[in-house]
């Protein structure tokens, strides 16, 4: 059982609001990832980090930003939410020596 | 065009039937993984295959990695309603690299 947590699990918010989605893991994994996924559809990588103070943009362009100040914490921020941001956001982590990713339960975001 | 193509996109079968899901690419992968995702949850790793031609069994699930390490298949024998979910293949093009995910196959097993 992977120890990776995401909060909130569900969020309904109005257009223009700033939001931060939290992701924490207690496994000491160096690598962390954020994916965007519409229900039942493919995962799109939007950000990743290979360690503290290291962040990279993923394959899908996103208006969100991330930070990695501590190994265990990888929050994602939307400065001004829009209805097009409505989706599920999945966080994952991975040890340095493997590609296996351990996923959190996801945050389902609805922007009205 | 996706780097990893999964087929079919959707599969609906009766309990007790067999099914096969395919994951294909023109690229070579150092390893390939299969995940299952249930509604409202994150994907959970089922298996990792790393050697061309490798076959792994997990109870009623059989995973195969192609000889050229460009494709993989997942076969479920005597499917059960608990097998319902989104099956995702994911490949790494070098050890330790980030994963590329396929588009997923939604499997529905009806009782």
Which of B42, B86, B103 lies closest to A105 in CB terms? B42
Show residues of chain B in contact with A48, CB under 8 Å.
Answer: 98
Distance from CA of B102 to the nearest CA of A (A): 7
Q: What does the alpha-carbon distance between residue B22 and residue B95 come to, in Å, rounded to a whole number?
A: 23
Q: Do B98 and A33 touch (CB under 8 A)?
A: yes
- The pLDDT of residue B106 is 95
At CB < 8 Å, which residues of chain B contact A?
A: 2, 30-31, 33, 35, 39-45, 48, 86, 88, 90, 92, 95-99, 101-104, 106
Tokens of B9: 């996109």
- Candidates A4, A23, A43, A91: best to mutate against B (most CBs of B within 10 A) is A43
Beta bridge partners of A45: A35
pLDDT digits (tens, 9 = 90+) for A2-26: 599 999 999 999 999 999 999 999 9
Q: Where are the beta strands (DSSP E) in chain A?
A: 4-7, 10-13, 19-25, 31-37, 43-51, 54-57, 65-66, 76-78, 87-94, 102-103, 107-111
B27 token code pair: 């690229």
Rounded to whole angstroms, how far apart are CA atoms B105 and B89?
9
Q: Is the pLDDT of residue A91 over 80?
A: yes
Tell me how far the alpha carbon of residue B19 is from its chain's centroid.
Answer: 12
- Give A31-90 pLDDT, tens digit per residue: 999 999 998 888 999 999 999 999 999 888 788 999 999 999 999 999 999 999 999 999
Facing residue for B96 by CB, picked from A43, A99, A108: A99
Determine how many CB atoms are found less than 10 A away from the CB of residue B13: 16
Residue B50 burial (C-beta neighbours within 10 Å; 0-12, 13-18, 19+): middle
Separation in Å, CA A41 to CA A21, B86, B102, B105: 21, 8, 10, 9
Q: Do residue A42 and residue B88 have CB atoms under 8 angstroms apart?
A: yes
Cα dihedral angle (A105, B90, B81, B18), rounded to 10 degrees? 180
Confidence (pLDDT) at A104: 96
CB contact under 8 A, B48 and A102: no
| Structure confidence at residue A62 (pLDDT) | 80
Among chain A residues, CA nearest to B29: A99
Nearest CA in chain B to A59: B100
pLDDT in tens, B18-59: 999 999 999 999 999 999 999 889 999 999 999 999 999 999
Three-state DSSP at A112 gives: coil
- Would the CB atoms of B96 and A98 count as touching at under 8 Å? yes
* Peptide bond connecting A8 to the previous residue in cis, omega within 30 degrees of 0: yes
């Amino acid at each position: 059982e992977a120890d990776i947590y995401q909060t909130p699990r569900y969020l309904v918010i109005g257009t223009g609001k700033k939001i931060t989605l939290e992701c924490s893991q207690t496994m000491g994994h160096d690598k962390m990832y954020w994916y965007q996924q519409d229900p039942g559809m493919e995962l799109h990588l939007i950000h990743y980090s290979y360690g503290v103070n290291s962040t990279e943009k993923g394959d899908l362009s996103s208006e969100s930003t991330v930070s990695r100040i501590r190994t265990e914490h990888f929050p994602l921020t939307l400065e001004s939410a829009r209805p097009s941001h409505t989706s599920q956001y999945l966080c994952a982590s991975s040890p340095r020596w493997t590609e296996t990713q351990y996923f959190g339960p996801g945050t389902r975001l609805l922007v009205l | 065009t996706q780097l990893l193509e999964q087929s079919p996109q959707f599969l609906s079968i009766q309990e007790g039937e067999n099914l096969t899901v395919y994951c294909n690419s023109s690229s070579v992968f150092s390893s390939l993984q299969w995940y299952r995702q249930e509604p409202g949850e994150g994907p959970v790793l089922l298996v990792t295959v790393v050697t061309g031609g490798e076959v792994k069994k997990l109870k009623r699930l059989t995973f195969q990695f192609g000889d050229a390490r460009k494709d993989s298949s997942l076969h479920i024998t005597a499917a059960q309603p608990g097998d319902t979910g989104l099956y995702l293949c994911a490949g790494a093009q070098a050890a330790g690299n980030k994963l590329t995910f396929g588009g997923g196959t939604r499997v529905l097993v009806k009782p």
